[in-house]
Amino acid sequence: MTYFNKLRIRSLLVIALFSSQVFAQHVSYRSFDHYNDKVAEFERMSDIDSTDIVMLGNSLTEYAGDWSKLLKYGHVKNRGIAGDDAEGIYQRLNQILPRRPKAVFLMVGINDISHGLTASEVFEKCQKVIDKIWAHRRYTKLYVQSILPINETFDQWKNLEGKTDEVAAVNKLLRHYCMRNNITYINLFKDFNRHETNEMRKPLTCDGLHLTPIGYKVWAFRLNRYL
C-alpha cells in the first residue's frame, strides 16, 4: 500500500469519526429517573432521519404508543417522555434534529404550568424549544400543537389545581407567536374543551389530564389533516 493510499484511508477514518460525533445522540442533561431511562432508550435506537416524523412532548405524547398505527402513517417516531418539561425537551433535541427529520409535531407546556410558573414564564420556556427547532426549518417542518385542556373535577393533579384558565392563557401566547413567525400552529384545544369553557370534555380524559382512547382518536383525526 502506497503512502498516499494510507493517508487517504486515515483521512476517511477521521471523517467517519467526526461524523459519528456530530450525529451522536448522547444527552448529558440529567433529570428524573424516567427521563434518564427514556433518553438512554432513545440513544440505543436507530437515529431519526429525513424520512421520519417525530412526535415530541410529554406523557400525552408518550402514552399514545405507536403513533404510526394511530395516524395510519409510516415513519412516525414517538419521542414523548412522561413528566418532561420545556427544558428537558430542549436538552434532548440533539437526538432529533441533526439528521433532519421530515417534521416535528411539538406539544410542550403542561408540566411547566404544573411547576407554578406564570403563563408568560411558561411561554418563554416553550419559545426556547420552538426557536431551536425553527432554526432547522430549511429541512424540518415544525408544527406547534396547543396544550390540551385539563379537567379539575377529577381531583387527581394537585399541582394543576386552579390552572384550567392558565392553559388557555399559554396557548394564546403560543398561537400569537406562531402567527407572527409563520409557524404552523395546530389548535387542538378547541377539539377537546367543553363548549364555552376551558375545561376538558370528560369522555376524552381518564383522569383530568391524560387521554382516553377516544381522546387519542380525536387528536389523530386533527393531525391527519397535516400529513
> d(Cα 136, Cα 97) in Å, to the nearest integer?
7
Rg of the Cα atoms in the chain: 20
Sign of CA dihedral 40, 45, 46, 52: negative
**Confidence tier at 4 by pLDDT (50, 70, 90):** very low
For residue 25, the model assigns a pLDDT of 76
pLDDT tens digits, residue range 21-31?
445 478 999 99
Q: Which domains does the chain have, with CATH numbers?
A: 48-226 (3.40.50.1110)
Report, as an integer, the average pLDDT of 198-221. 98
Whether the predicted pLDDT of 138 surpasses 50? yes
> d(Cα 39, Cα 58) in Å, to the nearest integer?
13
| 178: its cell numbers | 406562531
C-alpha closest to that of 222 among 169, 194, 185: 185
Whether the predicted pLDDT of 128 surpasses 80? yes
Cβ-based neighbours of 88, under 8 Å, separated by 6 or more: 29, 31, 35, 81
pLDDT tens digits, residue range 150-196?
999 999 999 999 999 999 999 999 999 999 999 999 999 999 999 99
For residue 154, the model assigns a pLDDT of 97
> d(Cα 6, Cα 145) in Å, to the nearest integer?
52
> How long is the chain?
227
**Confidence tier at 222 by pLDDT (50, 70, 90):** very high
